[in-house]
Amino acid sequence: MRQISFVFILISGILWGCLGVFVRNLNAIGLVSMDIVFLRAVVTAVAMVLFLLVYDRQMLKIRLKDFWCFLGTGIASITFFNFCYFKAVTLTSMSVAAVLLYTAPAIVMVLSYFLFHEQFSVRKAIALVMTFAGCVLVTGVFESSQNISAGGILLGLGAGLGYALYSIFSRYALDRGYHSLTITCYTFVVAAVATGCLTDIPRVMKLSFSSVSYGALSLSLGIVCTVAPYLLYTLGLVHVENSLASIIASIEPVTATVLGIILYKEKISLTGILGIGLVIGAMAVCSKKAEKTV
């Protein structure tokens, strides 16, 4: 079951890596970054609620005393992470913001050590270094002059923290007996409400569903890049430690890079290829069972 969980998390990272394709098309119809975050959240929330009403209404029941878990995944993670990331991009560059975002596995590892007493091992350390180095090379942060500011760095690190907190709060919810479907549902119900306060809702909905093709694109954004990956990632957390899961999900920037090459004829350097190799190598290290703690 552990190996299947690894596959679930790997697939979730790949699906998250497809997000750029949808974002480009939605940008073309006039939606900005936070509009897209709201759209993802509301489509996902509606889809999950409707599904659970048909599949198992009992999964919609939560205890009020546990609601803080979903405030954590929906606001401290989804909303906070996206706000920090998009602001960081405006103050630095996409590559710098992406590298800072992928401090998340290190943050998860440290938080999980103190909060859940997960072991810190040689294998995890090696995979962590390989993953971060690979993300740096894939994004090409050192290949051109970058506009870097203190505010941009802080916001980028904030994005990494927000990204990491999904694993942390999801673990708390899982430990309290909630199914991954319930966690995904309430995460995005909360996120939809929070991000709705930051967007012009009528404008977003009008643009997103102004035609059949745009409507299909918007619904696909929610299902392909949100419902499926978050559900698979949360399922994977049942049998995989937070720290390893966050490393495995770092296949996301590799997927985005490969899709850019295939779909948009983007070029990749030798260092980028090396970076992809390092991230894939880190996946292999994570999949090994033998582990020596330090």
Query: Nearest-5° angle of CA 184, CA 190, CA 194?
Result: 140
- Residue 192, in any domain of the structure: yes
- Residue 64, in any domain of the structure: yes
Q: Which pTM value belongs to this model?
A: 0.86
Q: Mean pLDDT over all residues of the chain?
A: 89
- Residue 292, in any domain of the structure: no
82-86, 92-96, 170-174: which is most confident: 170-174
Count of domains forming the chain: 1
pLDDT of residue 290 exceeding 70: no
- Residue 126, in any domain of the structure: yes
Mean pLDDT of 284-291: 68
- Residue 186, in any domain of the structure: yes
Counting every residue written for the chain, the total comes to 294
CB atoms near residue 272 (< 10 Å):
20
* Cα dihedral across residues 263, 23, 163, 136: positive or negative: positive
pLDDT in tens, 186-225: 999 999 999 999 999 999 999 999 999 999 999 999 999 9
pLDDT in tens, 39-51: 999 999 999 999 9
Mean pLDDT of 9-25: 91
Which residue range forms the structural domain that includes residue 167? 2-287
Local confidence band at 294 (pLDDT 50, 70, 90 cut-offs)? very low
- Residue 8, in any domain of the structure: yes
3-class SS of residue 172: helix
- Residue 108, in any domain of the structure: yes
Burial 110-126 (b: 16+ CB within 10 A, else e): ebbeeeeebeebebbee
DSSP designation for 79: I
pLDDT of residue 292 exceeding 70: no
Percent of the chain with pLDDT over 90: 64
